[in-house]
Amino acid sequence: MSHPEDEKGLLYGLDARIGPAPAFFAALQHVLASVVGIITPPLIIGSVLGLQAWIPYLISMSLLVSGLGTFLQARRFCGIGAGMICLQGTSFAFLGVILSAGMTVKAQGGSPQAILAMIFGCNLVAALIPMLISRCITPLRKVLTPVVTGTVITLIGISLIKVSITDWAGGHNARDFGAPGNLALGALTLLVIIVLNRSHSRWARLVAVVAGIGAGCIAAALSGHLPLKPMAETHWLVLPSLLHFGFDFSWTLFVPIALVSVICVIEAVGDLTANCLISRQPLEGDGFQRRLQGGILADGLSCLLAALFSAFPNTTFAQNNGVIQMTGVASRYVGMVIGLMLVLLGIFPLVGNLLQQIPPPVLGGATLVMFGSVVAAGIRVMTQAPLGRREMLIVAVSFGIGLGVEAVPDVLKQFPPLVSNLFGHAVTTGGILAMLLNVVLPNEAKTVAAVGAIEESN
């Protein structure tokens, strides 16, 4: 194991055993970085579709399934799971198509239970898609070269930074958005994390994110920026049940969800590659192939569990790669602890409700450096080999169009809603463009070699 002071080393490697106390603090930082992202999609979907009575249950199930999926990814048995800290969380990518499906059922006079039965039925079938794709990962790897994967990872990080800055300024629809007090809280949180992360003390790095969020919350309370939100009315113990709302299916509503499932596989490959890089694992060879295959298979199985237990589709969260980088803890045993924590948060929702009290500026300051780490990891993957004219063109076009569409979403407003939902995000548009260009544009080195071989034969 590398020395803690080694800039390129880890405090705890992938298979390193870790004591209960450091494992708890390392896991807690992952939970704090992701819990808001896990519960936000069910909050949005429940509010828009008029499912307020079921929102607490949907949130509990989202946390429970995220925990099960995270444990599965870290534990890795029978070829299922990447064997790394791959935190599974509710995917934002499905929001548009799920809301569209729900509104369709609602317009047809469907009850809240009928809406959820249709959504979870379509999600259940769509979960088979990543599981099937995982079986043919070898040909997929020929398309997802380092320049393509690095582009996807970088676009994921850049998209997340927007979320982080919005929180730092006060959060969506905040009356005091951009107020100096909000910016100061985020800056204090970030400063504490940076100082502790640069410390030579192993424990300082282990608790950096927790300490930063704690300092930010204390400062927020002292300055009057910690208004207590109303606690969700729910039971102290929530137990899951299979297909709680029943099962329904429609091919018309399924197709858009299936398309998003395919796109999410591209994101998952990028996240898993970044995780391997940060965890100091090889980015090529049979071992890497098996990690990708097991990780995507576990993603699909996690989505399957989500549909069965009334949660929305899961995906591998990119921000947790940043936590690994910050803490220097890549041990997969921490991943199992994270999974258990999230399961407990789902079963005992009171703790999750308390975590929702963390002010957005504090979360924004804490997550900014993590999301920046994802961008840095993408650039490192992208530049594994020198970028020639062909590779520079792929990166330039993918970044230009991908980020352009996300910055000016109205560019797609003349198209059907399905098109804007699928291609209105930098990761989707940029990732697909990078894959297409990588296939279509001839490889200069291979072309030169082919021409040379023809000349020699003549």
Burial level of 436, CB count in 10 A (0-12/13-18/19+)?
A: middle
Where residue 370 falls among pLDDT bands split at 50, 70, 90? confident
- Residue 395 to residue 387: CA distance in whole angstroms: 9
Determine the residue type at 118: M
pLDDT of amino acid 7: 40
Q: Are 345 and 156 in contact (CB under 8 A)?
A: no
pLDDT of amino acid 435: 85
Question: Quick one: DSSP state of residue 244?
Answer: T
- Residue 5 to residue 440: CA distance in whole angstroms: 45
Question: Can you tell me the mean pLDDT for 268-286?
Answer: 86
pLDDT of amino acid 9: 66
Q: Tell which wins on pLDDT, 98 or 454.
A: 98
3-state secondary structure of 66: helix
pLDDT at 6 exceeding the cut of 50: no
pLDDT of amino acid 365: 86
pLDDT of amino acid 312: 92
Q: Pick from 10-14, 104-108, 176-180, 305-309 the range whose average pLDDT is largest.
A: 305-309
Q: What does pTM read for this prediction?
A: 0.74
pLDDT at 126 exceeding the cut of 80: yes
Q: Tell which wins on pLDDT, 370 or 128.
A: 128
Helix 95-107 × helix 20-48 angle, to 10°: 40
Q: Encode pLDDT of 206-238 as tens digits.
A: 788 888 888 999 999 888 877 766 655 566 778
pLDDT at 115 exceeding the cut of 80: yes
Q: Encode pLDDT of 41-100 as tens digits.
A: 887 788 778 887 788 888 889 999 999 999 999 998 888 999 999 999 888 778 777 887
Instruction: Count other Cβ atoms within 10 Å, centred on residue 224.
Output: 8
Q: Encode pLDDT of 295-340 as tens digits.
A: 999 999 999 999 999 999 998 887 788 788 878 889 999 999 999 9
In whole angstroms, how large is the CA radius of gyration of the chain? Answer: 22
pLDDT of amino acid 5: 39
Q: Encode pLDDT of 176-216 as tens digits.
A: 888 999 999 999 999 998 898 888 887 787 788 888 888 99
Where residue 2 falls among pLDDT bands split at 50, 70, 90? very low
Instruction: Count other Cβ atoms within 10 Å, centred on residue 249.
Output: 13
- Residue 408 sits at φ, ψ, to 5 deg, of -125, 75
Question: Can you tell me the mean pLDDT for 399-420?
Answer: 85
pLDDT of amino acid 234: 61
Question: Residue 412 half-sphere exposure, CB side, CA atoms within 13 Å?
Answer: 20
**Residue environment code for 189-211, b if the CB has 16+ CB neighbours within 10 A, otherwise e:** bbebbeebbeeeeeeebbbbbbb
Determine the residue type at 48: V
Instruction: Count other Cβ atoms within 10 Å, centred on residue 335.
Output: 30
